[in-house]
Amino acid sequence: MTCDDHALHEGIARYYERRLRDNGPTPQGVDWNGAESQQLRFAQLVRIIQADHGTESDGPVTLNDLGCGYGALLTFLVEQGLDIDYEGTDLCEPMVQAARACHVGVANARFRIGGACSRLADYSVASGLFNVRQDVPVPLWEKFIHDTLDDLDRSSRRGFAFNCLTSYSDAEKMRPHLHYCAPEEIFRHCKNRFSRNVALLHDYGLYEFTILVRKQVG
C-alpha cells in the first residue's frame, strides 16, 4: 500500500466514524437517506447471488461484503431467507464493532477490519464504497475505484456487484464532496477487464446505478 492509499483509507475511516458517532448504526450512520432506499439498493446488489439460491450445492453461498458498515446487508440477507456464508470487511474499527454487536448469534457470519477482501468467495459486493470522495483528487479516487474492483474480481469465483452515484444526477442535487461516475465508462471498464457478462442497472429510481459482473464458471 502506498502513502497515498494509506491516507485515503484513513480519511474514509474517520469520515464514517463521525457518521456512526452522530447517527448510530442506522442508514444515516453510513451516509444513506433512509431505510427504504437502502432496501431498494440491496435488492439490486443481491441479484448477483439469487441465481444460486435454492439450487443444490455443498453448502451456503459464500459472500464478501466490502465496506460493510454496521452489517445492514447481512440483516437484509437473513430477512430474505438466503443461505449465505457471510464475511463483512470495513476500514472503520467502530463500524466493525457495531456490526458485531448488531449481529450476535447470526450463523455463518463474521466481521473484520480491513480495506480488501480476505478470502475467495462465490460472490463479493460493495455498496456505497465509491461515493464519498471528500477532498481526494479525482485521479486518485478513480485509481481507488479501479484497484477495489480488481480486488472484488480476484476475491470472487462467480461474480461481483457494486454501486456508484450516477453522473446523470440532477445538477442541483449534486454535492462537491461526493463522486459521480459515468455509467457507460464503468460498464465499459468491467466489460473489457473482467467479463463478457456484465449488467448495468439504472432503472430503480435512485441517483445511482448498480453493476453486476458474472463470470464463466466451469
Q: How many other CB atoms are there within 10 angstroms of residue 7's CB atom? A: 12
List C-alpha distances in Å: 34 to 38, 72, 87: 6, 12, 24
Q: How confident is the model at residue 4 (pLDDT cuts 50, 70, 90)?
A: confident
pLDDT at 189 over 70: yes
Domain 3-214 carries which CATH code?
Answer: 3.40.50.150
SS3 213: strand
Contact 192, 213 (CB under 8 A): no
Average pLDDT over residues 53-72: 82
Instruction: Give the pLDDT score at 29.
Output: 86
| Predicted TM-score of the model (pTM) | 0.93
